[in-house]
Structure 1
């Protein structure tokens, strides 16, 4: 039992370090190659911060643990909205940029609906994976064209996301490539530890792997988003905090589930189809309604989200 806990904790540390190394190395390499900060923020930072979820879900699928593979994504999206975004709003009310709300609300709501359809289908194979990845490519293209055509606050946010993760000064391409490779290696090893430890913990605690995936694994792989959001609100960059969560949820579904389904087809656990996917869809709809009302997520609304997450966690503990 103790060894499993250490595996989980060690896996989370390696995932966090690996994701950070990968993002900083990739952003630095993008600058060397002349890739615009806007495109780097949209793609490299978006994918890089989702590295923990990607590595964990792929490893879990390959290990024959669909509850962890899918529960990680569904649970992360629930935790991102209810816990991380709710806590951020309690610290600092989050303003909404109406100009980008239409695009991002369509992408967030659409990805949640696609995920719901895939879960209810009961099996995620290459066809579903390719569909999700195609939708992600379409979203990135849409966002890039919209944000590069005219001065756009959302474009500035993505530029700042890339600029906030600079590599060490005077870093050459060899070192940057080493950072990318090391980041990937740490993420892969960390994901293996996390999946192995979580599987044993589930057995020892007498709960399903799905519950562990929805809780311990999901919250653990969302730690980079939690840290980024808390730092953003402390610096009074509420647009960055909100954008981090919306972007993470879109990438989790379209990118993480898409890649995982292509690499290793997975059967959907019945408990996720019966309960948790509807929770994810419901909290996504709730967030969109809250953001549309007054173009702000208030402290009271944030407290409601956190309270809902506590209730959801209690519900999981009783399953």
Structure 2
């Protein structure tokens, strides 16, 4: 099973590159005194989701060359979203109390639900066209720039760049290079595994690549809670899900239209919608995520994985 070994090496490389990106981005963000939730929703969300993004770009380029990779691209985005809200948020909730303010639930929670609905609408006919890909990307960019305005970032980044920040910028670029290189390993060997096991690309993407590429979110979320920075944890996971529902599929389709199984859209995206709504319901009704709610999220995710394995 050399392909599985190389896939795991690729995922390890994605994790290492993302860790470098996160640490350097945090150094830059702290220097400019940006808030925890903002860092989580924007810098860390994008940083931890670079694996999904680069996998999507890599896969779409291969698709232009005649290799079908739509199942990997769409399945990876779905698998990441489901594992982040079910597994990662559920596990993180065991390490500490997680909460969101009413305004955060209203603003960011509504965007979370809206991103899943938009993903469903663009893919419901079985094809995500280039135009629909651009629409998904624009939806995320509008949200992102609204966050920048909310945080008043322009007024905070006028500090001069010192030596430490310059070094962090170099590390940031190095981490991006590692992510780009190892993403190729992930895509190539995921395709090889799907062919060897004679299973759908989406299954390999949802149960292996998705959770694997969510390892940075898991490490960051638990680490943030242990350091009494729960805002980073929740913000990162909510922001990551909004990003994953829109950008990987959006940029992938913009490069090469995606042809996806309609059952995958109607069933799995609907499950993601239910899970997203359940998470927000816990935050609204229980004033936060506690151990019982965390256990319910993990159980929901494990039941989904069982359903996928039994259905294959």
* TM-score, L = length of structure 2: 0.86
- In the other structure, the counterpart of 1:162 is none
1:273-301: CA deviation from partner (whole Å, max 9, x where unpaired): 24211111111111121211032112111
Aligned partner of 2:281 among 274, 286, 289: 289
Report how far residue 24 of structure 1 moved: 4.5
Change (3 A) 1:222 1:272: same
- In the other structure, the counterpart of 1:272 is 264
* TM-score, L = length of structure 1: 0.84
Contact 2:120 2:266 in 1 (8 A): no
Report how far residue 28 of structure 1 moved: 6.1
> Is structure 2 residue 146 aligned with structure 1 residue 142?
yes
Matches within 5 A, 1:184-199: 184-199=176-191
Contact 1:233 1:241 in 2 (8 A): yes
Report how far residue 251 of structure 1 moved: 1.1
1:167-216: CA deviation from partner (whole Å, max 9, x where unpaired): xx94474x555434432221122111111122222223332111001110
Whole-angstrom CA distance in 2 between matches of 1:185 and 1:199: 22
Give ranges in structure 2 of 5+ residues lacking alignment. 63-67
Matches within 5 A, 1:244-255: 244-255=236-247
- In the other structure, the counterpart of 1:91 is 95
Whole-angstrom CA distance in 2 between matches of 1:119 and 1:261: 10
Aligned partner of 1:132 among 99, 123, 136: 136
Change (3 A) 1:36 1:269: farther
- In the other structure, the counterpart of 1:47 is 46
Aligned partner of 2:209 among 214, 217, 236: 217
- In the other structure, the counterpart of 1:310 is 302
Whole-angstrom CA distance in 1 between matches of 2:59 and 2:261: 13
Aligned partner of 2:223 among 221, 231, 245: 231
User: What is the aligned residue count?
Assistant: 299
Give ranges in structure 1 of 5+ residues lacking alignment. 150-154, 160-168
Change (3 A) 1:41 1:208: closer
Report how far residue 62 of structure 1 moved: 2.7
Change (3 A) 1:109 1:186: same
- In the other structure, the counterpart of 2:65 is none
Contact 2:74 2:260 in 1 (8 A): yes
1:244-293: CA deviation from partner (whole Å, max 9, x where unpaired): 11010011122222222212221122341242111111111111212110
Question: RMSD over aligned Cα, in angstroms?
Answer: 2.7
Contact 1:23 1:48 in 2 (8 A): yes
Report how far residue 47 of structure 1 moved: 1.8
- In the other structure, the counterpart of 1:259 is 251
- In the other structure, the counterpart of 1:166 is none
> Is structure 2 residue 40 aligned with structure 1 residue 72?
no
